Structure 1
Amino acid sequence: MDVTSSSPQIDAQSPPTSWLSDDEFHVLEAICETFFPALDPPANCDQAQATYYRASASDLHLAPLIAETLGREDEEIRADVRRLLALLLSPTTGLLLAGTARPFSALPFKQREKYLLAMAHSPLVQLRQGYQLFKRLTGFLFYATPDSHGHNPSWEALDYQPADPPSPSAARPLQPLTIEQDSTLECDAVVIGSGAGGGVVADELARTGKNVIVLEKGGYQSEADFTLQEAQAMNDLYLKRGLLSSKDLGVAILAGSTLGGGTIVNWNTSFRTPPDILAEWEQLSGLPDVFTGSALQKSFVAVEQRIQINTANSAHNRQNQLLFEGARALGYHADSLRRNAVGCEQRCGTCGFGCRYGCKQSTLKTYLQDAYEHGARIIVHCSARRVLIEQGRAAGVEATVYDPETHTTRQLTIQARTVVVAAGAIHSPAILLRSELTNPHIGQHLHLHPTTTISGRYPEKVYPWQGVMQSAYSDEFGHLHGNYGYKLEVAPTHPGLLGMGSPWHSACEYRENMSYSAYRSTIIVLTRDKGEGKVTLDRHGELVIDYVTSVFDRRHILHGLRQAARVHMAAGANEVISLQSKRSQLTRQQLEQQGKRAWHHFDRQLERNGLGVNRLIMYSAHQMGTCRMGKDPTQSVTDAHSQVHGVQGLFVCDGSVFPAASGVNPMLSIMGLAHQAAQYIKSTV
């Protein structure tokens, strides 16, 4: 989300609210003040708690921040927002939702609360979508945005300690190429994307003496730049500043957009693709030996050695320990997972904001550094528009380079007979579609590992934002139906993410529940999805993500929520809460008084309150399948060597080549397949 490390500085000549009318902005202010009014603090509270309760949306300039954030979206999204605000300006909508024929901003506070809850629970998907848009933005910004002194009025009350500023003397070992004018460059191979796939291929080609150029859409951030502040990290390190989602907002999508890609912001989890999944991929693709042969296993070994995968740095923080203990108490599988990190020592908990200590063995520290030392040129803030194709062969890339200091954009053409698209399963198909390739499977078969959370509140402080972020997991339910099921893992939850996801039933109750953030532990249900979505282009050539969690996958999510709740209770939680808009909650007192009846009621409550679009917040940090590999060009996009069917010299090397979902955190799967493909690509350049 586009917020800075201090309160927003409003430019009087071009205010961020200028795309909204005065009436529209007034409604936006009223929405923010309804979610976050100034409240009377509880009796006998300390000064930090009093400050927390008295803080309001206006104190943090939430309405201008949201207007600025949404103002950077494309024209169609801004038009949708204005249509939504027009509904809230209508007295008729007020009559339908709050029982009073008045615009939203003219209603008294309690009726505005009622109005927002009616939107949240509405049978109309557009109203639920509008509620989620504003609830998520206000929740994130209220708890994540620092003031002009670098602090947030809620942090002290939540017992949240922000990181110190980074050291300006920290090393910046790479020097990206500067593009100061419209330019044409030549090379042997151009790699679009610098993450798990692109970084590996760039190094493999560069170390054989090939002239390589790497294009990265994001900027260059290193230990000298990582502020480790949630709001700043979303702006600097994530696609669309953390706002990326399916078109109906049903799934919030986290994807890296910085030099090093997702390997900069992921949580270090390093699973090899399971053998049963590889066998399934072989059957689906019709490609013998690509997934089950010895070559891929050798590539896994090579990658694991370079990024130093180990379990020595998988010591559990309190949150991971609770998952481990709760699962074992129920007789479920529980184990430690492997991570590509060294020397973590439980000292931060901010892997998703970049690793200031250099512990995370991202492609920035490994493969990209190696490629750079072997002569590869790297260009950041570079958006690849399309691949140039001549007579059935790749001929280069057409791109633009943005200068954030001068706010100028330069045209860049790369001439190369080998093009490797590694922009991720969201952007890679978009690039191929803009390149006028007509294969109907480009952008289809999108898998997201739809994920949701159930929260446990414990009697002692857990600090879910401290220590190793992800080190324990349970695979007890990984095979509910064949190869389909889910994993239980934990997710680090800093105040902004907690504020975004926690259910809101009233301003006062929400503020009180959030005051217990340090006592909460989160267990995620990571689903291997059988259902599919797609990535397409709108009339402006911008990508659109169309994905609705299938009925089959929702059954697994429901099963996972029920089991995660039991793990929490077995680990000692006092209550569990789902992320559903309608209240789904179970307390230990209810269990002690009612026993199995309490579990039965809670299980029914989870199902009755719904898992449909915008009734339950769903997340995705894993995107796969949109340029899938296969033998048959009529059923797939890329061949056994990750080369696009029908186009010589054009390769795709990222999660989009998966024939189906991996079922595990996909970083190592991507790197292994990219390493294997690179051995062939080297012979063709």
Structure 2
Amino acid sequence: MLGTTPVEGQGASKRSVDWLSEEAFRVLESVCETLFPSQLPPEGSSEEVAAYYQRSASDLQLALLVAEMLEQEDAETQARFRQFLTLLSSPFISLPLVGRARSFPDLPPASRERYLLSLANSPLAALRQGFQAVKRLAGFLYFSIPGVDGRNPNWRALDYQPVSSDNPTVAPEPLKIEAIAADCTLECDVVVVGSGAGGGVVAGELALAGKSVIVLEKGGYYRDEELNMPEAQGTSELYLKRGLLTSRDLGVVLLAGSTVGGGTVVNWTTSLHAPSHILDEWAACSGLDFFTHDTLQESFSAVEQRVLVNSDNSSHNRQNNLLLEGANALGIQAGTLRRNAMGCEQRCGSCGYGCRYGAKQSTTKTYLHDACEHGARIVSRCDVRRVMIENGRAVGVEALVRDVESGNQYRVAVRAKVVVVAAGALNTPAVLLRSGIENQHIGRHLHLHPTSTVSGYYREKVEPWNGVMQSAYSNQYSHLTDGYGYILEVPPAHPGLLGLSVPWRGAREYRELMARAAYFATFIAITRDKGAGTVMINRHGEAEIEYVTSVFDRRHLLHGLRQAARMHCALGAEGITSLQNRPTLMRSIDGKALTDEQLHEFERRLERHGLGPNRIMLFSAHQMGSCRAGADPHRAVVDERQQVYGVKNLYVCDSSVFPSALGVNPMLTIMALAHRAAQEIKREC
């Protein structure tokens, strides 16, 4: 678990890391020390700021923290990382990079920095990938990992004050989790794999209809009062693959919830209805007319009422206000987002790590609560390996359940009349593929809404980690080309995420940018992608994602980044930066506003420095389309009832059934489709 290793001055001792040789660990230490060397503080620095610049990677035992995190990864990931470190230990690699034939640890500091910059901007994709594998994890840990006092030593210099709730809301009736202490077989009418926006709704609807329901969730369960987590712990415990999930080439960082309640626990509560033109498109391309029927609209209304979607709790923090002001300054559309939250009151800023106040109306507060009230059982930390199929009919699932305290793992079989897979667009195709279901479209047509940012820093504090995380947006450019484009929103930005995201273009510039964290405002361009990727399973049966942003989608992303830059300039930002590896930072001169000439140069750099894999940080919090619905079994995975072609009583109820990318935050659409499918499933059991 993150946060257990003491840092800086806490008496931590160096421990061995079995999966790395001594030489490999020495290389890793030197890389971390090059990323985070001790530096001369600016003249006149306060004690906290001086300590911030003087602090180095070794003071936080950063290499050990990185190694311990990667120790939890699979053997293939570890092997690729070792291969990269072995490359850096070779003196012959450094010769063309820095003109000296010496191993990386044996180079002087200035040469080591040039070496890393050469890797970051190499024409060879594998070298860029290797650099990002270390930099991102090191940056996240350096600015998020707490010491024994519960605080990261860099936070004071960043003016970061994590919101602490000494008296978080205590849920009056927390969900009851089924205890598994031995291999066993369970029986029910319906087994639901996944407990998020899709699985939670199906479980609630079917339990209310009198069906016996068992919900299996891969992640753990946390009551409201347990969600008082710092960033490092929250990322590790509430996200799929501990927050380390990426596409295979590291080109896209993938954020997906892995806890009871799934993405509805960690998302930013944005509740947008599927645009009507998208539903029309889905009906046309899939051949399924239910996308435009009143029944789906009735399901939208039902879920909106149950999760209390409203705009009264959409007060804007400083960052959201800047988005609105920037849009207004440029004369483009902007508005207030509706959210599934009640009593939010700007008290927090940690939506991405669950709601300690119980304000977020996740499935744990709504549909799963309904399900448990009507007899449903929930099994957490349950990894479903396959669907059991007999004579063309789904009859249950096989899973492994892990006991956290003992470390024991138990085999569980759940026999059911109906199986609903709602494990998300990344894990649902993996479950179907492990089950031996033959359909060439399982795992294909994956859409990710590739997202990147332009940040501006201002004279007055923004504190992007405080208040309602996401409450404003602009869809002015959602129809740039044939219904494709992007929307502009803002993200939460705590120090670890900033440390991961801010490009490393040299140790000094990186440290200076991070020192301005409280003054940053970030606008994100969320692209509706026409291009698509693939979910496969590796030799261990785990999901792997192949995805490269298409040229078509890059054009829209570039348009969005330019528009974000213009908004920052119109608002008087002192500087702007993208997340590209090459220098794309533009600063004001003598405190004056950025000029039109500077803005145009910034826009030229955005295009010139490229949007290819590991040349820019890309994120995805929206995954969809990998088991798409359609009328033709030769072109789709599920039919109009969301039943898998060729397997009776096996349903898919999550974003993987989307026929194409949605273009807006998908939670509400997942819920509506799951609600509609649940009415169909009721008739089967």
Compared CA separation, residues 11 and 347, structure 1 to 2 (3 A): closer
Map 1:234-245; keep pairs closer than 5 Å.
Answer: 234-245=235-246
Taking the aligned partners of 1:35 and 1:199, their CA distance within structure 2 comes to 43
* CA deviation vs aligned residue, 1:613-634 (integer Å, no higher than 9, x gap): 1000000000000010000000
Contact 2:283–2:292 (Cα < 8 Å) also in 1:
yes
* CA deviation vs aligned residue, 1:531-583 (integer Å, no higher than 9, x gap): 00000011221111000000000000111110000111112211110000001
Report the Cα offset of residue 52 of structure 1.
Answer: 1.2
Map 1:34-45; keep pairs closer than 5 Å.
Answer: 34-45=34-45
Taking the aligned partners of 1:166 and 1:439, their CA distance within structure 2 comes to 52
Indicate whether 1:653 and 2:648 are aligned.
no
Report the Cα offset of residue 594 of structure 1.
Answer: 8.8
Taking the aligned partners of 1:169 and 1:676, their CA distance within structure 2 comes to 32
For structure 2, the 5+ residue unaligned runs are none
* CA deviation vs aligned residue, 1:43-69 (integer Å, no higher than 9, x gap): 221111122112211222211111111
Contact 2:265–2:355 (Cα < 8 Å) also in 1:
yes
Indicate whether 1:460 and 2:457 are aligned.
no
Contact 1:16–1:67 (Cα < 8 Å) also in 2:
no
Compared CA separation, residues 391 and 494, structure 1 to 2 (3 A): same
Q: Hey, what does 2:473 align to over in structure 1?
A: 473
Compared CA separation, residues 307 and 16, structure 1 to 2 (3 A): farther
Report the Cα offset of residue 595 of structure 1.
Answer: 4.6
Contact 2:168–2:228 (Cα < 8 Å) also in 1:
no
Q: State the one-letter code of the partner of 1:180.
A: A
Taking the aligned partners of 1:108 and 1:140, their CA distance within structure 2 comes to 25
Report the Cα offset of residue 501 of structure 1.
Answer: 0.7
* CA deviation vs aligned residue, 1:172-229 (integer Å, no higher than 9, x gap): 6112001100000111000000000000000011011111000000000121211331
Indicate whether 1:435 and 2:435 are aligned.
yes
Map 1:21-40; keep pairs closer than 5 Å.
Answer: 21-40=21-40
Q: Secondary structure at the match of 2:224?
A: coil
Map 1:27-106; keep pairs closer than 5 Å.
Answer: 27-106=27-106
Q: Hey, what does 1:373 align to over in structure 2?
A: 373
Compared CA separation, residues 16 and 470, structure 1 to 2 (3 A): farther
Map 1:352-391; keep pairs closer than 5 Å.
Answer: 352-391=352-391
Taking the aligned partners of 1:497 and 1:174, their CA distance within structure 2 comes to 30
Moved more, 583-592 or 606-615: 583-592
Q: Secondary structure at the match of 1:615?
A: coil
C-alpha RMSD of the superposition: 1.8
Q: Hey, what does 1:637 align to over in structure 2?
A: 637
Contact 1:5–1:150 (Cα < 8 Å) also in 2:
no
* CA deviation vs aligned residue, 1:400-441 (integer Å, no higher than 9, x gap): 000111011000000012000000000000000000001000
Taking the aligned partners of 2:295 and 2:163, their CA distance within structure 1 comes to 43
Q: Hey, what does 1:257 align to over in structure 2?
A: 258
Q: Hey, what does 1:340 align to over in structure 2?
A: 340
Q: Hey, what does 1:310 align to over in structure 2?
A: 310
Q: Hey, what does 1:670 align to over in structure 2?
A: 670
Report the Cα offset of residue 590 of structure 1.
Answer: 9.9
Compared CA separation, residues 334 and 588, structure 1 to 2 (3 A): farther
Q: State the one-letter code of the partner of 2:163.
A: A
TM-score normalised by structure 1 residue count? 0.97
Q: Hey, what does 2:154 align to over in structure 1?
A: 154
Q: State the one-letter code of the partner of 1:79.
A: A
Map 1:190-339; keep pairs closer than 5 Å.
Answer: 190-288=191-289, 290-339=290-339
Compared CA separation, residues 251 and 546, structure 1 to 2 (3 A): same
Taking the aligned partners of 1:142 and 1:7, their CA distance within structure 2 comes to 12
Indicate whether 1:681 and 2:678 are aligned.
no
Report the Cα offset of residue 11 of structure 1.
Answer: 12
Taking the aligned partners of 1:446 and 1:613, their CA distance within structure 2 comes to 17
Q: Secondary structure at the match of 1:240?
A: helix
Q: Hey, what does 2:496 align to over in structure 1?
A: 496
Moved more, 169-178 or 603-612: 169-178
Taking the aligned partners of 1:590 and 1:424, their CA distance within structure 2 comes to 50
Compared CA separation, residues 433 and 367, structure 1 to 2 (3 A): same
Contact 2:218–2:258 (Cα < 8 Å) also in 1:
yes
Moved more, 452-461 or 91-100: 91-100
Contact 1:569–1:588 (Cα < 8 Å) also in 2:
no
* CA deviation vs aligned residue, 1:326-364 (integer Å, no higher than 9, x gap): 101110001001000011111111100110001000001
Contact 1:340–1:360 (Cα < 8 Å) also in 2:
yes
Q: Secondary structure at the match of 1:185?
A: strand
Contact 1:5–1:232 (Cα < 8 Å) also in 2:
no
Taking the aligned partners of 2:330 and 2:288, their CA distance within structure 1 comes to 41
For structure 1, the 5+ residue unaligned runs are none
Report the Cα offset of residue 164 of structure 1.
Answer: 2.6
Q: Hey, what does 1:487 align to over in structure 2?
A: 487
Q: Hey, what does 1:4 align to over in structure 2?
A: 3
Contact 1:16–1:68 (Cα < 8 Å) also in 2:
no
Compared CA separation, residues 42 and 10, structure 1 to 2 (3 A): closer
Tell me how many residue pairs correspond in the alignment: 682
Taking the aligned partners of 2:371 and 2:596, their CA distance within structure 1 comes to 59
Map 1:523-672; keep pairs closer than 5 Å.
Answer: 523-589=523-589, 595-672=595-672
Q: Secondary structure at the match of 2:215?
A: strand
Taking the aligned partners of 2:274 and 2:675, their CA distance within structure 1 comes to 14
Q: Secondary structure at the match of 1:85?
A: helix
Compared CA separation, residues 590 and 512, structure 1 to 2 (3 A): closer
Contact 2:569–2:593 (Cα < 8 Å) also in 1:
no
Taking the aligned partners of 1:6 and 1:332, their CA distance within structure 2 comes to 48
Compared CA separation, residues 517 and 79, structure 1 to 2 (3 A): same
Taking the aligned partners of 2:303 and 2:590, their CA distance within structure 1 comes to 50
Q: Hey, what does 2:416 align to over in structure 1?
A: 416
* CA deviation vs aligned residue, 1:137-186 (integer Å, no higher than 9, x gap): 11100000111111111111111112336559934611200110000011
Contact 1:349–1:468 (Cα < 8 Å) also in 2:
yes
Q: Percent identity between the aligned chains?
A: 57
Q: Secondary structure at the match of 1:416?
A: strand
Contact 2:573–2:594 (Cα < 8 Å) also in 1:
no
Taking the aligned partners of 2:654 and 2:252, their CA distance within structure 1 comes to 21
TM-score normalised by structure 2 residue count? 0.97
Q: Secondary structure at the match of 2:521?
A: strand
Q: State the one-letter code of the partner of 2:127.
A: L
Taking the aligned partners of 1:274 and 1:168, their CA distance within structure 2 comes to 36
Report the Cα offset of residue 256 of structure 1.
Answer: 0.2
Q: Secondary structure at the match of 1:303?
A: helix
Contact 2:488–2:523 (Cα < 8 Å) also in 1:
yes
Q: State the one-letter code of the partner of 1:228.
A: M
* CA deviation vs aligned residue, 1:216-244 (integer Å, no higher than 9, x gap): 00000121211331100011100000000
Contact 1:218–1:237 (Cα < 8 Å) also in 2:
yes
Compared CA separation, residues 15 and 418, structure 1 to 2 (3 A): farther
Taking the aligned partners of 1:89 and 1:509, their CA distance within structure 2 comes to 26
Report the Cα offset of residue 390 of structure 1.
Answer: 0.3
Contact 2:424–2:655 (Cα < 8 Å) also in 1:
yes
Moved more, 438-447 or 65-74: 65-74
Q: State the one-letter code of the partner of 1:428.
A: T
Taking the aligned partners of 2:352 and 2:331, their CA distance within structure 1 comes to 31
* CA deviation vs aligned residue, 1:58-99 (integer Å, no higher than 9, x gap): 222211111111111111111111110110000011112221
Contact 1:166–1:356 (Cα < 8 Å) also in 2:
no
Taking the aligned partners of 2:402 and 2:15, their CA distance within structure 1 comes to 22
Q: State the one-letter code of the partner of 1:199.
A: G
Taking the aligned partners of 1:552 and 1:84, their CA distance within structure 2 comes to 32
Taking the aligned partners of 1:602 and 1:590, their CA distance within structure 2 comes to 18
Taking the aligned partners of 1:457 and 1:101, their CA distance within structure 2 comes to 41
Q: Secondary structure at the match of 1:158?
A: coil
Taking the aligned partners of 2:608 and 2:78, their CA distance within structure 1 comes to 34
Taking the aligned partners of 2:156 and 2:592, their CA distance within structure 1 comes to 34
Report the Cα offset of residue 587 of structure 1.
Answer: 3.3
* CA deviation vs aligned residue, 1:5-29 (integer Å, no higher than 9, x gap): 55389999x9561110000000011
Compared CA separation, residues 85 and 258, structure 1 to 2 (3 A): same
Contact 2:5–2:12 (Cα < 8 Å) also in 1:
no
